[in-house]
């Protein structure tokens, strides 16, 4: 029997708990500073202790993962701390399509894939001089929503760039994507696509609690003006959301179109979990500003299942468990090759 392995961060508890529930041996690669924390959980069978997650590229760690016949579940920390280039070369089977992670990280490729899927996306501006509405500028590789700023014209834009450079947040080489800022309700759709059943499942929906943008509304506007606060978008946590049922039809269409587009542009496509992230604007139209091509931490809300996973699977189906169930089915039917890259 294979083991299921992941890095100790992001959604590792949920992933390994789900793997255990489906009968797998579980392996956690943890930094020594967090080993004591993770040893509190009895569903983790084996620990590989490192000082730095980059060590996953070293032969001794790879050997330990091979000895346990591990399948690695990628998540946001693998991308941010190991990096796309190394993930592509990593000699360990990875659940899902490791090549699509580059399309998530590169803003141009990301836009290309979203356009191909046909989902509405915010207008983007090629130069600050073109700005004619409220915009959000995003530093490439910005992590967790830091390094973003709002600008309503080119003067605003350049004054932020100067400020960011002074603060060491950006250099002359950094590229910024300028996007129309959509005012409305931000919503995050969590999906699972099963290549074995050729079926898309809506797994859950969440909202993010971001600092300091979600705190600004607690300060009267007169005070906001005086202290000249700028919003930042660092995710602190997530909370669950259910949509009006009439909106769900489109949510499935958006997910299915994304699966089709990714299959065409980045074979083998989008096996496993992914997330479409956007805003319902003032007309109730969904405009997507991002996707994540792997499990998102917002699924941690639903360790015992979500209102949507309940409809498809009954109780207690977390995204972590769903991944393990797909792998188990793949092993049983000898179709594991459809799930790994």
User: Would you tell me which residues interact with ligand AMP (CB under 6 A)?
Assistant: 122, 136, 145, 148, 179, 181-182, 186, 208, 210, 233, 277, 279, 289-290
What 3-state class would DSSP assign to 4? Answer: strand
Distance CA 112, CA 110 (A): 5
- CA–CA dist 20, 18 (Å, integer): 5
**DSSP-derived 3-state class of residue 177:** strand
Q: Which residues contact 5 (CB under 8 A, 6 or more apart)?
A: 26, 27, 28, 29, 48, 65, 68, 70, 71, 72, 73, 92
* Beta partners for residue 192, in sequence order: 201, 273
Which is closer to ligand AMP, CB of 205 or CB of 340? 205
Q: How far is the CB of 334 from ligand AMP (least distance, A)?
A: 38
Q: Say how far apart CA 58 and CA 256 lie, in whole Å.
A: 38
Q: Closer CB to ligand AMP, residue 210 or residue 326? A: 210
Query: Among residues 255 and 278, whose Cβ is nearest to ligand AMP?
Result: 278
| Other CB atoms within 10 Å distance of the CB of residue 269 | 18
Question: Measured from the CB atom, is 125 or 193 closer to ligand AMP?
Answer: 125
What's the closest the beta carbon of residue 315 comes to ligand AMP, in angstroms? 30
- Dist CA 88 CA 100 (whole Å): 10
Q: What is the DSSP letter of 73?
A: P
Q: Nearer to ligand AMP by C-beta: 22 or 290?
A: 290
| CA-angle at 110, arms to 151 and 272, nearest 5° | 130
Report residue 71 as tokens.
């399948």
Identity of the residue, 44 or 254, whose beta carbon is nearer to ligand AMP in the bound complex: 254
Minimum gap (Å) between residue 59 Cβ and ligand AMP: 35
Would you tell me how many other CB atoms lie within 10 Å of the CB of residue 225? 10
Nearer to ligand AMP, 181 or 252 (CB): 181
Rounded alpha-carbon distances, angstroms, from residue 184 to 151, 154, 165: 17, 24, 30
- The residue among 298 and 330 lying less far from ligand AMP, judged by its C-beta, is 298
Structure tokens at 255: 């997910």
Rounded to whole angstroms, the Cα distance separating 273 from 292 reads 9
Q: How near is the Cβ of 187 to ligand AMP at its closest, in Å?
A: 10
For ligand AMP, which is the closer residue by CB, 186 or 271?
Answer: 186
**What is the token pair recorded at 101?**
């992670």
Report the nearest approach of ligand AMP to the CB of residue 188 (Å).
8
Give least dist CB 210 to ligand AMP, A.
Answer: 6
Least distance to ligand AMP, CB of residue 208, Å: 5
What is the token pair recorded at 329?
A: 């089915």
To ligand AMP, the closest distance from the beta carbon of 180 in angstroms equals 6
CA–CA separation, 152 vs 11, rounded Å?
A: 36
* Torsion angles phi and psi, residue 170, rounded to 5: -150, 160
Minimum CB separation from ligand AMP for residue 179, in Å? 4
């Amino acid at each position: 029997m294979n083991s299921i392995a992941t890095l100790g961060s992001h959604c590792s508890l949920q992933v390994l708990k789900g793997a255990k529930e489906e009968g797998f041996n579980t392996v956690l690669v943890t930094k020594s500073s967090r080993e004591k924390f993770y040893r509190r959980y009895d569903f983790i069978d084996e620990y590989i202790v490192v000082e730095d997650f980059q060590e996953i590229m070293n032969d001794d760690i790879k050997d330990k993962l091979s000895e346990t016949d591990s399948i690695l579940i990628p998540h946001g920390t693998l991308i941010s701390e190991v990096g796309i280039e190394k993930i592509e070369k990593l000699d360990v089977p990875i659940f899902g399509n490791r090549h699509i992670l580059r399309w998530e990280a590169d803003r141009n490729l990301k836009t290309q894939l979203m356009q191909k899927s046909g989902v509405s996306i915010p207008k983007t501006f090629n130069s600050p001089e073109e700005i004619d509405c409220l915009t959000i500028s995003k530093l490439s590789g910005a992590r967790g929503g830091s390094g973003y700023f709002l600008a309503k014209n080119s003067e605003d834009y350049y004054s932020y760039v100067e400020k960011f450079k002074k603060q060491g947040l950006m250099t002359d080489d950094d590229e910024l994507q300028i996007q129309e800022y959509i005012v409305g309700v931000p919503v995050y759709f969590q999906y699972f696509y099963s290549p074995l059943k050729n079926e898309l499942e809506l797994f859950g929906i969440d909202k993010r609690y971001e600092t300091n943008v979600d705190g600004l509304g607690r300060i009267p506007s007169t005070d906001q003006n005086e202290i000249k606060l700028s919003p930042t978008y660092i995710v602190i946590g997530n909370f669950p959301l259910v949509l009006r049922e009439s909106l769900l039809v489109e949510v499935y269409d958006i997910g299915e179109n994304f699966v089709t587009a990714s299959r065409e542009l980045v074979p083998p496509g989008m096996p496993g979990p992914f997330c479409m992230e956007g805003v319902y604007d003032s007309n109730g139209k969904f405009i997507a500003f991002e996707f994540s091509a792997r499990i998102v931490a917002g699924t941690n809300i639903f360790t015992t299942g979500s209102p949507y996973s309940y409809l498809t699977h009954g109780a207690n189906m977390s995204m972590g468990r769903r991944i393990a169930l797909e792998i188990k089915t793949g092993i049983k039917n000898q179709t594991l090759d459809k799930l790994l890259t």
